[in-house]
Amino acid sequence: MLDIKMIRLNEDEVKTRLATRNVKPETIDDLLEQDKIRRGLVVKTETLKQKRNEVSQAIAQAKRNKEDAGVAIAEMKEVGNEIKQLDEQLNVVNDKVLDMAARLPNLPNPTIPVGPDEAANVEIKVVGTPRKFDFEPKAHWNIGENLGILDFERGAKVSGSRFLYYKGWGARLERAIYNFMLDEHAKEGYTEVLPPYMVNGASMFGTGQFPKFKEDVFQIEGQDLTLIPTAEVPLTNYYRDEVIPDEDLPVYFTALSPSFRSEAGSAGRDTRGLIRLHQFNKVEMVKYCKPENSYDELEKMTLNAGNILDKLGLPYHVITLSTGDMGFSAAMTHDVEVWMPSQHVYREISSCSNCEDFQARRAHIQYRDEDGKLKFVHTLNGSGLAVGRTVAAIIENCQNEDGTVTVPEVLRPYMNGLEVIK
């Protein structure tokens, strides 16, 4: 969440920067108008409460002097009723200001590309060269079904569209990949966590999914619980409403978890394969750090994601997302996209974001600086990686003409030495 005081003091700059994220200037005007009303009500209530204190003292003095305090008592009652009415108004306006502010996205870092959508994204690094096949490469779903390691038909029968079964060496490959990822991140100093897979509304608010994106998730009817769309939510909320000791920063967490997404608005997109599912595994990276270090930590996190693809031998590139393509809570995002031969295109496999103090302000996560002053930490998150998409990339990039798939060398110890999936 953005600091309302900062918005008030930098109105024009906020309007300009948020305009690049499709926020209309009138939205800021409406918020500041409600904030003005709120501050006016606060002044009125504080003035009346001061008056009530003075009247109370006058009543006490009159009683000590055995004087008639009837007029003063009547006045205090009238003041009390007025305070009650103003407090009710203030609660309504406070809720309105909070809701309006909570729906504003983060301010984009001034250095990122400006544009309405993914067409304005900028490529910053290319790693590896896409393999030249001497046969027409097949899509991962066709290869997986032919090998009997992916079963989309029975997944749809049992659960519906965008679900599947991994079977045999397919299940083993998925497990090998996420164990390899967790081991690699542990080498980089991440603490492995096994988080809850359901979280409350306060946690969803803390990371920015609520209130704006409720249609994108699966909620438990009648309970304050939501199936996590990513392990970012429980990992980032680990320190919600806490002060992290200065000496503990930076904090690195990594976790494997299922991710549950309704994929609202994605009708007709990636209807086949492992790219866009309602349930998928993902290894997540989350960092808490001091503001002065957060952009260095973003670069390290992006390298951590790329390191997985380097060791798997998969070609990829890294892009910086434009203002119009970036996620709600992010100030800057680097996407790592892996090459998919059957589509002749790079597809996202990791998204690494610096949220600055946006999530920390919502979740109230702080630390004390050298002077003992409380400040909000900066939070970062990134996929390290989306496991199903990694399976898809391995199947496609490592496929053979006879329909088999060569297992990347680094995964073979996790697969009982298997070299080729037949």
Write out pLDDT tens, residues 263-278: 877 767 787 999 999 9
353 carries a ligand binding annotation: no
Q: Which pLDDT value is given to residue 93?
A: 97
Q: Evaluate if residue 205 carries a pLDDT over 80.
A: yes
Q: Which helix (H) or strand (E) holds 299?
A: helix 294-312
Q: Is 351 annotated as a binding residue?
A: yes
Give the β-pairing of 332-340 and 316-320. antiparallel
Mean per-residue pLDDT over the chain, rounded: 95
User: 238 phi and psi, to 5 degrees?
Assistant: -55, -40
* Mean pLDDT (whole number) for 363-375: 96
Tokens representing 44 are 């009125």
Give the number of residues written for the chain: 422
CATH architecture of 118-421: 2-Layer Sandwich (3.30)
pLDDT higher than threshold 90 for residue 408: yes
Across 281-304, average pLDDT? 98
What are the Cα distances from residue 4, in Å, to 9, 93, 99, 302?
9, 14, 12, 31
Q: Where in the chain is the domain with CATH 1.10.287.40?
A: 4-103
Looking at residue 303, its pLDDT comes to 98
Which residues make Cβ contacts (< 8 Å) with residue 301, sequence separation at least 6? 285, 287, 352, 380, 382, 384
pLDDT value for 49? 87
350 is in an annotated binding site: yes
pLDDT recorded at residue 67: 78
More confident of the two residues 69 and 195: 195
Mean pLDDT (whole number) for 176-202: 98
User: Mean pLDDT throughout 342-347?
Assistant: 97
CATH number, span 4-103: 1.10.287.40
pLDDT at 37 (0 to 100): 97
The reply to whether 232 sits in an annotated binding site is yes
Residue 302 has pLDDT above 80, yes or no: yes
Higher pLDDT, 140 or 65: 140
pLDDT at 201 over 90: yes
Q: 230 a known binding residue?
A: yes
Give the pair of three-digit tokens for residue 219: 């909620």
Catalytic residues: 261, 276, 348, 351, 389
Residue 191 known to bind ligand: no
pLDDT over 80 (residue 202): yes
The pTM assigned to this predicted structure is: 0.93
Is 153 labelled a binding residue?
Answer: no
Question: Which residues make up the CATH 3.30.930.10 domain(s) of the chain?
Answer: 118-421
Q: What is the pLDDT of residue 77?
A: 83
Evaluated on CA atoms 316, 152, 382, 264, the torsion sign reads: positive
